[in-house]
Amino acid sequence: MEFNKSELREWIESIAGSVLTALFIMVFLLQTYKVEGRSMEPNLYEGQRLIVDKITYRFRPPKPGEIVVIKPKDPSKKFVKRVVATEGQNLQIVNGKLRINGLTVNEPYIYEAMEEDFPWTVIPEGTVFVMGDNRNRSMDSRDERNVGFVPLENVVGRAVFIYWPLNQAKILKAPALEGKWEFDHIEFNN
């Protein structure tokens, strides 16, 4: 097969254009991520591959219930977690139940009830509080040394789609987080 100069140049331009387009998409719009570990079971499993939307959070902050990829305090790592609270909200875990702003949150997506309590805290401005769905096997915002409150600039993006393995492919939607008051008895002392 013989190439003349203009034909070779067309091939090079086509390949270069394709590479630049792919780089633009990977840097600014979408990225793939492989799930590592068991912290997001029963919703995400080891080895699944996700498509992560990197553009949404340039226009709005993460919302509770969304699954995100974050950079923890060790910059060489990335974790997949669920946003459970955002700036200004208060959070507490009591008797295995998550409370946000005083309401006990119904979390049908978690693996099992939490074994440990977490003290009342207010989520600082410009951060989110994330947890794995497998709460008792997750390194997340409860671990201040390794993750803690996640600055918004350390949220890589929102997981939107499982694309591998093909038989598990699906769109990831954030559940509506609903809370209820759980008080059997309230006393007011004068």
Which of the residues are catalytic? 39, 81
Q: What is the 3-state secondary structure (H, E, C) of 38-93?
A: CCCCCCCCCCCEEEEECCHHHCCCCCCCCEEEECCCCCCCCEEEEEEEECCCEEEE
CA 18 vs CA 15, 22, 55, 85, 166: distances in Å: 5, 6, 21, 40, 25
Burial per residue of 60-84, b for 16 or more beta-carbon CB atoms within 10 angstroms, e otherwise: eebebbbbbbbbbeeeeebbbbbbb
Please name the amino acid found at residue 173: K
Q: Are the C-beta atoms of 127 and 26 separated by less than 8 Å?
A: no
Whole-angstrom CA distances from 80 to 11, 50, 101 are 39, 10, 24
